[in-house]
Amino acid sequence: MTRILGISGSLRRGSYNTALLRAAQALMPEGSTLIEGTIAGIPLYNGDDETVHGIPAPVETLKQQIIDADGLLLFSPEYNNSVPGVLKNAMDWASRPSSDMAKVFGAKPIAVVGATPGGFGTILAQDAWLSVFRTLRTRPWHEGRLMVARAGDLFDETGALTDEKMRDRLAAYLAGFTAFARGEKDR
């Protein structure tokens, strides 16, 4: 069984990115599963707090989920033409202490998708994540790209993905990334 960890980069209850993650769970290819991780409860990173109190419990949980996963899929909004601070903060915490970075992220297959009410998808956020992925020494999947623009037209009021074309695109993306993660697992 190939295990992919999905993390939404939004804390909003009605987040399109969380809705996209949940839609993805139902579209995973056979022999794989998408586990929903969370960044809720992760405090702002402060090196002084890390020194005094160590790694917070929600961060330890997230780190272990990343370690246990065969691949990491971020569902990232785009804020001010870049990455959302809460998700970047969680990735920063997960790389602490720096001696754990290789164990948590080293060569981990990773990809990013995103949903937005705007018309340009999340292209700038997805591009901005690439330098973070490189620094964490992950193995980004570059074969596919999924940007969900005008998400308000594609999800209903309950958060269900109702657009069949987008469901098909999402399923194809998940199949490609899962195959990549599975191949990396077998290396």
- Over the stretch 119-142, which tens digit does the pLDDT of each residue have? 988 999 999 999 999 999 999 999
Rounded distance, CA 49 to CA 154, Å?
42
Query: What residue segments make up the domains of the chain, in order of their start?
Result: 2-185
| More confident call, 27 vs 120 | 27
Per-residue CA distances from 125 to 41, 115, 152, 163 (Å):
23, 11, 19, 23
Cα 4 to Cα 72: distance, rounded to the nearest angstrom: 6
How far from 56 is each of 21, 59, 61, 112, CA to CA, in Å?
25, 5, 9, 25
Fold of 2-185: Rossmann fold (3.40.50)
- Span 162-183, pLDDT tens digits: 999 999 999 999 999 999 999 9
The pLDDT of residue 187: 55
Please tell me the pTM assigned to this model: 0.96
Output the pLDDT for position 186. 63
Confidence of residue 185 (pLDDT cuts 50, 70, 90): low
% of the chain surpassing 70 pLDDT:
98
